[in-house]
Amino acid sequence: MAFGTLERTKFVTAASELARNTLVHGKGGTVTIIEVERDGRIGIKLVFADEGPGIPDINRALEDGYSTAKSMGLGLGGARRLVNEFDITSAVNVGTTVSITQWKRR
């Protein structure tokens, strides 16, 4: 699956932000890479899952400048702007799952 340079750069940068969150805040976790297809379009989806402390206030965590550790501040909100689709679910003391999808341009 070949993406354009800009799409690739944005997606990999978003993945880097989210992987760091999984490591730093989630105390480690997994990432799953999935090839997806919808309405004849193909794309790539990454799912970052951890069983860390969870995020009490997701809307606040998506704001720029929100930070709970030294490396944070732009991660979640920034990553959301870089990808086509962004989903997050989180429960305190259960963990956080973030998935991002980039669709290949037709």
Partner 1 sequence: MEQIPVLKLGDFLLVSIQVELHDELVLNLQDDLTSRIEKTHARGVLIDISALEIVDSFIGRTLGHIAAMARVLDATTVLVGMRPAVAITLVELGMSLKGIRTALDIDKGMALLRLSLDEASDETGEFS
Helix (H) or strand (E) holding 12: helix 5-24
CB of 63 to partner 1, least distance (A): 10
Is residue 20 near partner 1 by the rule CB under 8 A?
yes
What are the residues whose beta carbons fall under 8 Å from the beta carbon of 12, sequence distance 6 or more? none
Q: Does 64 bind partner 1 (CB under 8 A)?
A: yes
- Of 53 and 78, the one with the shorter C-beta distance to partner 1 is 78
When the beta carbons of 5 and 93 are compared against partner 1, the nearer one is 5
CA distance 53 to 12: 25
Residue 6: exposure state from Cβ atoms within 10 A (0-12, 13-18, ≥19): exposed
**Interaction of residue 32 with partner 1, rule CB under 8 A:** no
The residue ranges that bind partner 1 (CB under 8 A) are 5-6, 8-10, 12-13, 16-17, 20, 64, 71, 73-75, 77-79, 81-82
